[in-house]
Amino acid sequence: MPLPHWTPQNLLPPGRHQADLADVYERLVFDAPHQNDREILFSALNSYLGVARQVISSGRAWIGGAFVMRTGHPPRGLDVVLLPDEWGALKRLDDEGRTALYGLLTLRGVIIGQPAMYLEQVQPVGGMLDGFLCRPGDEDVWETVWAEGGKGFPEMVW
């Protein structure tokens, strides 16, 4: 089902809107200004979701941030919150799976070793997006944040 048309405020209508990648592309890239910038972000989203599907066998992703608004300024990034269907499967990930999962998430206040270095923030896909993981029971909190200001947002299911 295609994403709904933009509101007069240049937002998606309030609420969650089922979408696939083609729907997201049509509304948030093709039907929005700054298509070149949006193409790059869409490619980052596509790659990100491809990795997410390998790590999380089934779930949903909510897309947010400036990418889901139609403004006069090019969006500099996008936000994704991952909502796994089976939280227990994430707890059973092996070391390789956990490493892949952590690579999907925005991390703040990170210390790495050899050489020791403090990083204020580490973001997936070269910093083009922020990735978050929704814990069971926190869906309402995330939905409130994603819908702030009357914004709607795409929900992708796999």
pLDDT in tens, 120-129: 766 787 778 9
Q: Which residue ranges make up each domain of the chain?
A: 15-157
Strand partners, 61: 82, 156
Mean of pLDDT over the chain? 92
pLDDT in tens, 33-53: 999 999 999 999 999 999 999
Percentage of residues in the chain having pLDDT higher than 70: 94
pTM over 0.75: yes
CATH class of 15-157: alpha beta
Confidence of residue 141 (pLDDT cuts 50, 70, 90): very high
Residue 115: cis peptide before it, omega within 30 degrees of 0: yes
